[in-house]
Amino acid sequence: MYTQEITVNNEVGLHARPATYFIQKANEFKSGIWVEKEERRVNAKSLLGVLSLGIAQGTTITLIADGSDQEEAVKALAELIENNFGE
C-alpha cells in the first residue's frame, strides 16, 4: 500500500471537470485507488464517490493505492492535482 497527502489548490476543488480528469487518470491503473478526506474513504475510480467528498479549494486529501502499480498511480494523481488538472 502506498499513500500520499496532498492539498487541492485549484479554484473549484475536485468538482465536475477536474473530477472527471482525476477519475480518467485513476482508471489508467490496475491498482485499487482510494481518496480519503477526514474519516471518509471512497473509490478514486468512482465519479459519484469522489464528488460526494465535497473537496473544495485548500482541502487536504490522502491518496491511497494498493496493487502492482500503486506508487506510479499515486504519483500520477498527485501530479495531476499539483498541476491544477491542466487548467
* Listed range (2-6, 70-74, 81-85) with the worst mean pLDDT: 81-85
Domain assignment of residue 79, given as a range: 2-86
Query: Percent of the chain at pLDDT above 70?
Result: 100
Condensed to tens digits (0 to 9), the pLDDT of residues 28-65 reads 999 999 999 999 999 999 999 999 999 999 999 999 99
Q: Which residue has the higher pLDDT, 35 or 14?
A: 35
Instruction: Give the position of cell 499513500.
Output: 3
Query: Which class for 46: exposed (0-12), middle (13-18), buried (19 or more C-beta within 10 A)?
Result: middle
Residue 53 has what DSSP assignment?
T
Cα(17)–Cα(58) distance, rounded to whole angstroms?
17
- The pTM of the whole model exceeds 0.85: yes
Q: Given 2, 15, 47, 62, which residue is catalytic?
A: 15
CB 61 within 8 A of CB 55: yes
Q: What domain count does the chain have? A: 1
Domain harbouring 40, CATH code: 3.30.1340.10
Look up 15 and say whether it is catalytic. Answer: yes
Question: Which are the contacts of 14, defined by CB distance < 8 A and separation ≥ 6?
Answer: 8, 22, 50, 51, 53, 55, 59, 61
